[in-house]
């Protein structure tokens, strides 16, 4: 089976293919990351807690970068675009 290529986070490129259930889509993206690239669940929860309180969060989408907050949170070396995490 060919290795699937994973890009973070250019969802605008593939917006039409994103299903309505973003959590299932996020789970799939997370499963495709190399283990060394993954943020662990504690770090993701910490990041999402910040996003949940952020005035730049619009229904789970970051208005600064256009990413889904959950997807931005899942890669270890990703950063909040305004340095909140
Ligand atoms: S990534 Fe940063 S700016 Fe965007 S919603 Fe989360 S905390 Fe706010």
Per domain, the residue ranges of the chain are: 40-85
Burial label, 24 (beta-carbon count in 10 A; 0-12, 13-18, 19+): exposed
Q: What is the pLDDT of residue 4?
A: 56
Q: What is the pLDDT of residue 80?
A: 97
Q: What is the pLDDT of residue 19?
A: 57
Residue 60: left if φ>0, alpha if ψ -120 to 50, beta else—which one? left
Which atom from ligand 1 is nearest to the alpha carbon of 57? 5
What are the pocket residues of ligand 1 if the criterion is a CB atom closer than 6 Å to any ligand atom?
A: 50-51, 54, 56-57, 62, 64, 69, 72, 80-82, 84
Q: What is the pLDDT of residue 1?
A: 45
Ligand 1 midpoint to CA 84 (Å): 7
85 residues of the chain, pLDDT tens digit each: 445 555 555 555 555 555 567 888 888 889 999 999 999 999 999 999 999 999 999 989 999 999 899 999 999 999 999 999 9
62 has which bridge partners? 57
Give the number of C-alpha atoms closer than 13 A to the C-alpha of residue 79, restricted to the C-beta side.
4
Ligand 1 midpoint to CA 50 (Å): 7
Ligand 1 midpoint to CA 27 (Å): 20
61 has which bridge partners? 58, 68
CA angle 5, 10, 14 (to 5 degrees): 80
Q: What is the pLDDT of residue 45?
A: 94
């Amino acid at each position: 089976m060919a290795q699937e290529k994973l890009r973070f986070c250019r969802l605008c490129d593939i917006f039409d293919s994103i299903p309505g259930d973003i959590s299932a889509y996020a789970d799939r993206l997370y499963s495709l990351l190399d283990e060394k690239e993954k943020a662990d669940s504690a770090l993701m929860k910490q990041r999402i807690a910040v996003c949940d309180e952020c005035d730049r969060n619009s229904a789970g989408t970051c208005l600064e970068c256009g990413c889904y907050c959950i997807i931005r949170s899942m890669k270890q070396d990703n950063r909040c675009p305004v340095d909140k995490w």
